[in-house]
Amino acid sequence: MRYLLTAIVIALAGIVVGAGSGSYLTYNNLMRKVGSIPASPIVMQAKYDREKHQINYSILNPGTLPLTIVEKSFVFRPGKETKEKAYVVADIPASITLPPGAVTMVSLKLKEETEELKTGDVVVVTFTYTHPLSRDLYTVVHPFTYGGNLKKQKKEGK
């Protein structure tokens, strides 16, 4: 009887230790794999700064490693209210680090000789970024329509 009780206690202890160590190893392996997945930056908000003639982007890096924006480019498409012509500005070098789990402000200066944005103007921005574990280049494309959500903003009191 005493041997049976000892065998049961040893078996239960083995199950608890085995489950604990297995969970620990599985968790660490999973976290290592999740940490190495390149996360894509998310544009949380874009606002036009009329004084500086630039669009300020709030960009979130949801990943666990820092990302680096290495280049910006944009395409301007005029709306019905503007007399400005469409244009493309490409390959603007940048070196902006997006820390993991944080929101970073990134500004995009528009061409100095152009008029201010009018309602309906669209600026499509491409951010090219790198991940520290890869030599590849990744892109995020964000369309910004000036005044596109004016009715929504007025309802919210902004």
Domain edges within the chain: 1-35, 42-148
- What are the tens digits of pLDDT across the range 94-128? 999 999 989 999 999 998 888 899 999 999 999 99
- In angstroms, rounded to a whole number, what is the distance separating the alpha carbons of residues 158 and 156? 6
Length of the chain: 158
How confident is the model at residue 35, as a pLDDT?
A: 64
- What are the tens digits of pLDDT across the range 71-101? 999 999 998 888 889 999 988 999 999 999 8
Is it true that domain 42-148 has CATH number 2.40.30? no
Q: Helix or strand or coil: residue 57?
A: strand
How confident is the model at residue 140, as a pLDDT?
A: 94
pTM for this prediction:
0.69
